[in-house]
Structure 1
């Protein structure tokens, strides 16, 4: 059991590190801060509930079962963090958000205080690391403490499920997928933890023994449920930037033929990527260097090469857009060849030639240009000097 909950705690802690990689910006954003709080408290909650942790806490404090109110209090704090996160995620007027956050915090704060008070009043001198809930199901004050934390956590789970199901009808994309994951996690939590624990406790009240539901079934099921919920909270936060960086990495690789073609003409330092640099930052630095090289090659652009290549591409069945990109890629390849030759004097800027493919397209225009540089036979002919051109 300890291995299962420790694994869940480790995964939640790793998630918290990923979300909290920029502490200053994370703390300024209530939504990010709330998400980090949910994941962090969840990791602490699972760590506290492991039998090894419970035994250690009991030994260090010298109080049998001291780990029980600690774990139940953390579960209540975990439920409170879910409520606060849902309030921040849903959004609304700042005053309303603050009021709802305060109400949720006060309610679960009082619940935690009640758990501590009931444990103090109870007679729980026998240490129970795995079956405390069922062993003390009929013990005064301990009975009320157990019921209280189960009711508090169950109420949070039900409210979260209803709100997520309603909200799911209004949103699309990663947010809707995240809500679905949360609902799946809440089902695991409600059935595998709440229902199992309550059934085992009620069975003890009625004189039966269904302790395996609480000791064997509930821990792994609630661990899986927590992972689903955490994934649902994180997905809308991490997926968009992950997609952006993935596309940036793809574009960075696609621009390699273009950079090889013009890198010798760049006046800025060669963009050497660092292992820690994110793909989007790498792509931006490479684009700056490419634009610098293209600017240096502008005086060598020959419109005659562009026109011949355009006619050839159209004759080969290319669309007007494709033909224009191929023609400008051929003009660029010819300019790079001519500028790199010993007698490559510039044509001068009076020709007015420029790469119109890049107008208003940014990275997309560079990517299209790079693709044609690497695969078009028309561009290959211009690179070899096979396109007829007149130099003035």
Structure 2
């Protein structure tokens, strides 16, 4: 059981580190800060509830079952952090948000204080590491303490589930997918933790033994719930940058033909990315070098070549936009093959044509230009002079 619980705690801790990777930015964002608080307190809850941790705490304090109020108090703090996260998520007037947060802290702070008082009054001298809820289900004060933390946690989980359902109707994309995952985690929490624990405790009250629900079923199910909740928190935060870097990696690869064509003309240092650089950073460095080379080639752009290639592409059935890209790629290919070429310095000219595709579309324009350079027969013909010759 300890291994399963520790794995859930480690997953939540890892999620917290990802969300808190930029501390200053995280602290300036109430939503990010409250999300980090939920995940961090959840990791502490799982750590505290492991039998090994409970035994260690009991031994260090010299008080049998001292780990119980500690764990139940952390679960109540976890529930409070859920409520605060809901308040921040939903937004509203700052004064209302502050008032609701203060109310939540007061309510759950009172629950935590009551848990400590009830444990102090109870007779719980026998150490129980795995079945304390059911073993002391009928013990005065311990009984009330157990019911109190279960009700407090269940209430916050139900409210969170209702808000997730309502919010899913208002949002889409990664946020909606994240809410769905959180909702699945909450279902596991309600079924695997709340329902199992309450059923086992009530069975004890009625003289039956369903302890396995609390000791064997609840820990793995609530750990699965933690996995889904962690994924739900991470998805809206990590998916957009992951998609951006994936697209940047593809664009970097697709720009290779263009860079091979013009790299000899670049005056800036050749981009040599370090292994730790992210794809988006690599793409930006490559774009800067390509633009530098295109700027150096601008005086050698021949508008006559562009016009001829445009007519040829249109006659071949290309759309006006496709024909424009092909024409500019042909003009670039001819400019890159000026006398002196890659092995020398190009001869000075006074051309004034510009690559309008790049000016209008940025990275997308560069990618389209690179594809035309490598795939278009019109560009290949212009590169060898045949297109111009056929039109003169």
TM-score (normalizing by structure 2): 0.95
Aligned match of 2:297: 297
* C-alpha separation in 1, matches of 2:297 and 2:325: 17
* C-alpha separation in 1, matches of 2:64 and 2:339: 84
Superposition deviation, residue 389 in structure 1: 6.4
8 A contact 2:306–2:330 mirrored in 1: yes
Aligned match of 2:353: 353
Q: Check if 1:19 corresponds to 2:15.
A: no
Unpaired runs of at least 5, structure 1: none
* C-alpha separation in 1, matches of 2:275 and 2:73: 42
Q: Give aligned pairs, total.
A: 388
**For 1:388, what is the secondary structure of its paired residue?**
helix
Aligned match of 2:253: 253
* C-alpha separation in 2, matches of 1:94 and 1:19: 24
* C-alpha separation in 2, matches of 1:339 and 1:92: 67
Aligned match of 2:217: 217
**Aligned in 2, Cα 1:94/1:300: closer, same or farther, shift over 3 Å?**
same
Tell which deviates more after alignment, 152-161 or 53-62: 53-62
Aligned match of 2:73: 73
Alpha-carbon deviations, 1:8-43, whole Å to 9, x = none? 111111111111111111111111111111111111
* C-alpha separation in 2, matches of 1:143 and 1:87: 31
* C-alpha separation in 2, matches of 1:145 and 1:343: 84
Aligned match of 1:115: 115
Aligned match of 1:237: 237
* C-alpha separation in 1, matches of 2:108 and 2:339: 73
* C-alpha separation in 2, matches of 1:81 and 1:343: 66
**For 1:277, what is the secondary structure of its paired residue?**
coil
Alpha-carbon deviations, 1:328-385, whole Å to 9, x = none? 1111111111164358423213xx2110111331111111111212222222233334
**For 2:126, what is the secondary structure of its paired residue?**
coil
* C-alpha separation in 2, matches of 1:264 and 1:85: 55
**Aligned in 2, Cα 1:104/1:343: closer, same or farther, shift over 3 Å?**
closer
Superposition deviation, residue 148 in structure 1: 0.4
Tell which deviates more after alignment, 363-372 or 192-201: 363-372
**For 2:388, what is the secondary structure of its paired residue?**
coil
8 A contact 1:257–1:370 mirrored in 2: yes
Tell which deviates more after alignment, 310-319 or 65-74: 310-319
* C-alpha separation in 1, matches of 2:62 and 2:13: 29
Tell which deviates more after alignment, 113-122 or 231-240: 231-240
Superposition deviation, residue 81 in structure 1: 1.2
* C-alpha separation in 2, matches of 1:111 and 1:318: 72
* C-alpha separation in 1, matches of 2:155 and 2:12: 23
Alpha-carbon deviations, 1:82-113, whole Å to 9, x = none? 11112112222222222222211221111111
Q: Check if 1:156 corresponds to 2:165.
A: no
**For 2:129, what is the secondary structure of its paired residue?**
coil
Superposition deviation, residue 271 in structure 1: 2.0
Cα-Cα RMSD: 1.7
* C-alpha separation in 2, matches of 1:81 and 1:177: 22
**Aligned in 2, Cα 1:339/1:299: closer, same or farther, shift over 3 Å?**
farther
Aligned match of 2:272: 272
**Aligned in 2, Cα 1:389/1:345: closer, same or farther, shift over 3 Å?**
farther
Superposition deviation, residue 196 in structure 1: 0.5
Q: Check if 1:135 corresponds to 2:135.
A: yes
Superposition deviation, residue 145 in structure 1: 0.7
Aligned match of 1:188: 188
8 A contact 2:340–2:347 mirrored in 1: no
* C-alpha separation in 1, matches of 2:257 and 2:107: 62
Alpha-carbon deviations, 1:190-228, whole Å to 9, x = none? 111101000000000111000000001001111111221
TM-score (normalizing by structure 1): 0.95
**For 2:269, what is the secondary structure of its paired residue?**
coil
**For 1:321, what is the secondary structure of its paired residue?**
helix
Tell which deviates more after alignment, 275-284 or 69-78: 275-284
Alpha-carbon deviations, 1:247-270, whole Å to 9, x = none? 222222221211121122111122
**For 1:276, what is the secondary structure of its paired residue?**
coil
Aligned match of 1:330: 330
**Aligned in 2, Cα 1:343/1:31: closer, same or farther, shift over 3 Å?**
closer
8 A contact 2:11–2:230 mirrored in 1: no
**Aligned in 2, Cα 1:344/1:235: closer, same or farther, shift over 3 Å?**
closer
